[in-house]
Amino acid sequence: MTKIIPERSDVPAEHRWNLASLFSTDSEWEKELVVFNTMIHDAEKGKISLGTDRQAFLKTLKDFEQYLILEERLGYYADLRVTENEGDSVARGMFERYVNLSTQGQAAWSWLSPAIQMLDDNFIDSCLKDSSFEDYRVFLSKLRRFKPHVLSDAEERLLALQSEPAQTPKDAFSVLTNVDFDFGTIETPEGPKPLTQSTFAYFMRLPDRSVRRKAYLQFYASFEAHRHTLATLYAGSVKLDKYIAKVRKYPSARAMALFPDNVPEAVYDNLVSTVNRNIPALHRYYALRKEVLGLDSLRHYDVYVPLVKEIKIERSYEQAVDIVIEALKPLGEEYVNTLRGGLLGGWVDRYENKGKRSGAFSAGSFLGNPYILMNYKDDVLDDLFTIAHEGGHSMHSWYSARNNPFMCYGYTIFEAEVASTFNEQLVFSYLYENSKDEREKAYLLANRIDNTLGTLFRQTMFAEFEERVHEIAESGEAITVDVLRKEYRGLLEKYFGPEMVFENVSDLEGLRIPHFYNAFYVYKYATGLSAGIALSEGVLKGREKERDAYLNFLRSGGSRFPIESLELAGVDMSTPEPIEAACKRFAKDVEALSAILKAK
pLDDT score of 189:
86
500 sits in which H/E element: strand 500-501
Does 287 fall in a domain? no
Distance CA 112, CA 190 (A): 60
194 sits in which H/E element: strand 191-194
Q: What is the pLDDT of residues 312-324, one digit of tens each?
A: 789 999 999 999 9
| Cβ contact 390:362 at 8 Å | yes
Q: What is the pLDDT of residues 248-297, one digit of tens each?
A: 999 999 999 999 999 999 999 999 999 999 999 999 999 999 999 999 99
Cα–Cα nearest to 454, from 442, 465, 466, 446 = 446
Distance CA 89, CA 95 (A): 10
Cα–Cα nearest to 550, from 561, 541, 564, 539 = 539
The residue-averaged pLDDT of 578-582 equals 96
Domains identified in the chain, total number: 1
| Cβ contact 317:214 at 8 Å | no
The residue-averaged pLDDT of 458-465 equals 98
390 is catalytic: yes
Q: What is the pLDDT of residues 359-388, one digit of tens each?
A: 899 999 999 999 999 999 998 888 999 999
Does 562 fall in a domain? no
Q: Which residue has the higher pLDDT, 179 or 585?
A: 585
Does 135 fall in a domain? yes
93 CA to centre of own chain:
26
pLDDT score of 1:
37
Least confident of 304-313, 332-341, 384-393, 402-411: 304-313
600: confidence class by pLDDT, cuts 50, 70, 90: low
Does 19 fall in a domain? yes
The residue-averaged pLDDT of 25-32 equals 98
Coil, strand or helix: which one is 526? helix
Write the CATH number for 155.
1.20.140.70
Q: Is the pLDDT of residue 431 over 70?
A: yes
User: 71, 156, 390, 546: which one is catalytic?
Assistant: 390
Does 441 fall in a domain? no
**Entry pTM:** 0.88
pLDDT score of 599:
78
48: confidence class by pLDDT, cuts 50, 70, 90: low
pLDDT score of 378:
92
Does 99 fall in a domain? yes
Domain that holds residue 142: 8-163
pLDDT score of 162:
85
pLDDT score of 49:
67
Distance CA 568, CA 403 (A): 16
Half-sphere exposure in the Cβ direction for 185 (13 Å, CA): 8
pLDDT score of 178:
84
Mean of the per-residue pLDDT values of the chain: 94
Kindly provide the residue ranges of all beta strands, DSSP E only, lying in 12-169, ordered along the sequence: none
> Residue 88: left (phi > 0), alpha (psi -120 to 50), or beta?
beta
Q: Is the pLDDT of residue 2 over 70?
A: no
Residues paired with 192 in a beta bridge = 187
Does 12 fall in a domain? yes
CB atoms within 10 A of CB 146: 15
Q: Is the pLDDT of residue 137 over 80?
A: yes
Does 120 fall in a domain? yes
